Chains A and B, each alone.
Chain A
Amino acid sequence: NAGVTQTPKFQVLKTGQSMTLQCAQDMNHEYMSWYRQDPGMGLRLIHYSVGAGITDQGEVPNGYNVSRSTTEDFPLRLLSAAPSQTSVYFCASAGGASRKNEQYFGPGTRLTVT
């Protein structure tokens, strides 16, 4: 099992550009989520999904879109990047449809917006 994979590892964008951060898991997990990690702020939940076709907002969803067309994939889209979105992004998944179960994290994507 590869676990949770994320691409790219690093990305630099200019303000206003769009991009998609990819996340995939091969553990047949129903629950998937995106977090951002900022200095002095810990990890904050952006969006999550409890199964294919179902997504919901976390605590910091503004500026990000998600979709869940398959169980395996949960891409995060930035439609118009802003410097405030400079951060490290982590994708996570958990068995079953509940975030109560242990979450497995990907290695992260470091995004810089200039």
Chain B
Amino acid sequence: GNSVTQMEGPVTLSEEAFLTINCTYTATGYPSLFWYVQYPGEGLQLLLKATKADDKGSNKGFEATYRKETTSFHLEKGSVQVSDSAVYFCALRGNTDKLIFGTGTRLQVFP
């Protein structure tokens, strides 16, 4: 079945450091891929998405490229801020239209 694997956290960085959170997936067909973010005390919000191979989703300085050859959708940001501290979830939507989430990665950014 469909599944998402993302790196365990927490990821701890200093402000202005480069961020990568790895996400790989297993799916039949051509899923859509998503990154959601959960700030402390809040629900999940859609951060970015990509619906076909080689698409790049971007938002708030974050980027992720849909790589079908490596079945990956890694999240990157060139310079993180303290306000980026949150839990990040990778997710896919396959042919059943159901969202399948990864386990989440906590990011902690220190000044």
Contact = CB atoms under 8 A, between A and B. Distances in A.
Q: Do A and B come from one complex?
A: yes
Interface of A: 4, 37, 40-45, 58-59, 90, 92, 98-100, 102-108
15 contacts: A37-B104, A41-B103, A42-B101, A42-B103, A42-B104, A43-B44, A43-B89, A45-B98, A58-B98, A92-B43, A92-B44, A98-B97, A99-B93, A99-B98, A108-B43
B42 interface: yes
Contact of A107 (B4, B42, B101): B42
Interface residues of B, number: 18
A99 B43 contact: no
A101 to B, nearest CB: 10
Nearest to B104: A42
Q: Tell me the interface secondary structure of chain B in the complex.
A: strand
Contact of B89 (A42, A59, A104): A42
B97 A103 contact: no
Nearest to B34: A102
Those 7 A-B pairs whose CB atoms lie nearest each other, nearest first: A105-B43, A42-B101, A105-B44, A43-B101, A42-B103, A107-B43, A106-B43
Nearest to A100: B97
B71 interface: no
A92 B36 CA distance: 13
Contacts of B46: 102-103
Given A42-B89, A99-B98, A107 B103 contact: no
B93 to A, nearest CB: 7
